[in-house]
Chain A
Amino acid sequence: MEKREEKRAFGVYEVFVQKTALDHHRHVGSVVAPSPDVALITARENFLRRDPAVNLWVVPRDAIYAAPREGDFFARELDRRYREVSGYSENGRLWKMFKEENPDFEEMIRYFEAKEAERRRSLLISEGEQESRGSRRS
């Protein structure tokens, strides 16, 4: 009987450590404890014997709602380079063209035409990819 009781009542707490005031709390693992205050002490003893920290959270596992691990919740089908710094690597080259003593407008036009052609080509490829993906699914 005693055993049953212990089994039911020791809860799992997920542990989050904040290393410095400029860091977010970060998940490091979990502990079992009979109450949140004991969970805090156990977490400190388990995870902070060496690492410095300014704060610690323990959260009952049941309180965490997680995204599914399977399925396409995190799928990235579109090219998202337009959201990233790396999507704008041509800027350096463009600035250079403008800063030259006698800008060669012919060269600029050729550059943009080549780029446009490349964009169309990649669009065709990705459409093709999507089609074949779609056909695999069905």
Chain B
Amino acid sequence: MSLDERHARFMERIRRGEKIEVTDWMPDEYRRLLIKLIHMHGISEVMGVYPEKEWVPRSPNLRRKLSLMAKVQDEMGHGQLLLRVVEDLAEPLGKSREDLVTDIFLSRVKFHNVFHMDAETWADAGLIGWLVDGAAIINQVSLLETSYAPYARVLKRICAEESFHMQHGENIILALAMGTQKQRDMLQDALNRWWESLLFFFGPPQVTDAARRMLEYRIRVKTNEELRQQFLDKYIPQIRAIGLKVPDPELHYDERKQRWVYTPPDWEKFSRIVRKNCGPKSQERIQLRRQAHEGQRWVREAMLRSAQASAAV
């Protein structure tokens, strides 16, 4: 069968809504797009741990500390599940877990803009759970319908656990919203700091070539702007309900077009942060990741030698 015929058959499967497995034939482009998307997703889970783990030793009480640690552990677990999916896809290209992880500090993989930012106060820790995880859930739920089955299966587990993260974050911000004036101000400051990042999180409104290909392959089923509108639909009423103000005087709902109108974030600034790892916390967190990976190399090697020794007996 010629390559064109195979490709046509593959697209026919996609159109019928069939799910693709790692052992199935797939176009190189499909494989590359999946690797790029899921690698970035997995690494973002891992790097997403840093802004939050900074608050573990400073949690206001033991209960908050325990739930924050549980969340941090979940994010690392999600990173591992997603990297497993990428490893299987990248195997024919000769890439292993080691490469996927070292890509972070060799700047060969990007991670979400929100994880380059500073979590200055405890309100940021709560807001990350409430709105950053909220945005991530909207994105991940839309991906449950992806054409790539191994990704969809892992996302099912991830989405279930993310709803715990969201509740955890909401609980923190509700406590602050019911607190003193100082606590409420802290919360408003956190929202002001994160608002632009949150809008950027969904990506540019125009459908790029890569995004269009992903939609055609049904790797993704919704556009950036559809997801961003869904986020605004859900969270603007919540933000207003607890007495916070969205830091955008232009923000309003256009009844005629049935969509939110907002001041666009500084696309250039945030995309530079993601491309060049030059956000306020990018380098510090990447260095910590490098230390963790390289500092524990001896443990991985010792485990390997021990397994080889026992196999040789």
Contacts and interface: CB of A to CB of B under 8 A. Distances in A.
Interface in B152-202: 153-154, 157, 161
Interface string A4-35: 01110110100000000000000011111011
Contacts of B313: none
Interface string B268-293: 00000000000000000000000000
From A31, A32, A34, residue with most partner B Cβ within 10 Å: A34
B303 A38 contact: yes
B98 A35 contact: no
Given A46-B80, A46-B81, A69 B303 contact: no
Given A3-B98, A69-B23, A31 B307 contact: no
Contacts of B74: 49
Interface residues of A, number: 25
A46 B157 CA distance: 10
> Which residue, of A29, A42, A66, has the highest number of chain B Cβ atoms within 10 A?
A29
B306 interface: yes
B306 A32 contact: no
A6 B300 contact: yes
B229 interface: no
B28 interface: no
| Residue among B80, B157, B306, B307 facing the most chain A CB atoms (10 A cut-off) | B307
A23 B70 CA distance: 28
Interface in B13-62: 21, 23-24
A45 interface: yes
Given A7-B98, A35-B307, A69-B23, A29 B300 contact: no
B96 A10 contact: yes
Given A2-B297, A3-B98, A32-B97, A9 B84 contact: no
B278 to A, nearest CB: 28
Contacts of B107: none
B5 to A, nearest CB: 14
Q: Which of A3, A6, A12, A31 has the most CB of B within 10 A?
A: A6
Interface in B61-78: 70, 73-74, 77
A69 B307 CA distance: 34
Interface residues of B, number: 29
Contacts of B88: 12
A82 B70 CA distance: 51
Given A30-B84, A49-B74, A35 B297 contact: no
B304 A34 contact: yes
A9 B153 contact: no
B65 to A, nearest CB: 17
B124 interface: no
Contacts of B303: 34-35, 38
B301 interface: yes
B77 A45 contact: yes
Contacts of B99: 3
Given A34-B303, A35-B307, A38-B303, A6 B77 contact: no
Nearest to B306: A35
A31 B70 CA distance: 20
B308 interface: yes
Nearest to A68: B23
Given A30-B84, A34-B300, A6 B308 contact: no
Interface of B: 21, 23-24, 70, 73-74, 77, 80-81, 84, 87-88, 96-99, 153-154, 157, 161, 297, 300-301, 303-304, 306-308, 310
Ranked nearest first, the 4 interchain pairs of A and B with the lowest CB-CB distance are: A35-B307, A7-B96, A34-B303, A34-B304
Given A35-B306, A49-B77, 10 more contacts: A5-B304, A12-B87, A31-B80, A34-B307, A38-B307, A46-B77, A46-B81, A47-B157, A66-B23, A69-B23
